[in-house]
Each structure stands twice: as C-alpha cells, then as structure tokens.
Amino acid sequence: MKMEQYIRAIAGTVILLTVGLSYIHSPYWLWFTAFVGANLVQSAFTKWCLMEDILAKFGVPKSCSQPR
C-alpha cells in the first residue's frame, strides 16, 4: 500500500473509533475526532502531515514503486 492509503485508513479508523467511543463512553471523545479532521484540513493547505512523517520513520514507502 502507498502511504496515502495508510493515512486515509488510519484517519478513517480513528474517526470511527472516536465516534463510537463518544456514543458509548463520553462525548468528549468528539474533540479527538475534531482534531483529526482539523489535521486533515491543514494538511490539504500546507502539504505537511504529521502521520506521513511518522509512517516514513517506520519505513512505509510514499509510492508503490519505491523500495522498502
């Protein structure tokens, strides 16, 4: 998988998880959901994503053609 696919999968998982936790446990979990959404918006404008840096440190390639 490409890094972009990992980022989308992680963001989607975190959003679904925190929405579920807000329903089951506490509505304060929605603050984390908002944080993830805000990071997605800022990365669209700044072209910088913290999760991209984290995944790069774990050796995830930016595209399928790059060697691991």
Residue type, 44: A
**Quick one: how far is CA 60 from the chain centroid?**
14
* Structure confidence by residue, pLDDT tens digits, 23-64: 999 999 999 999 999 999 999 999 999 999 999 999 988 876
Give the gyration radius of the chain's Cα atoms.
14
Q: How crowded is the C-beta side of 13, counted as CA atoms within 13 Å?
A: 6
User: Mean of the pLDDT values across residues 5-22?
Assistant: 95
Strand ranges for 1-68 from DSSP E: none
Residue 40 tokens read as 């997605």
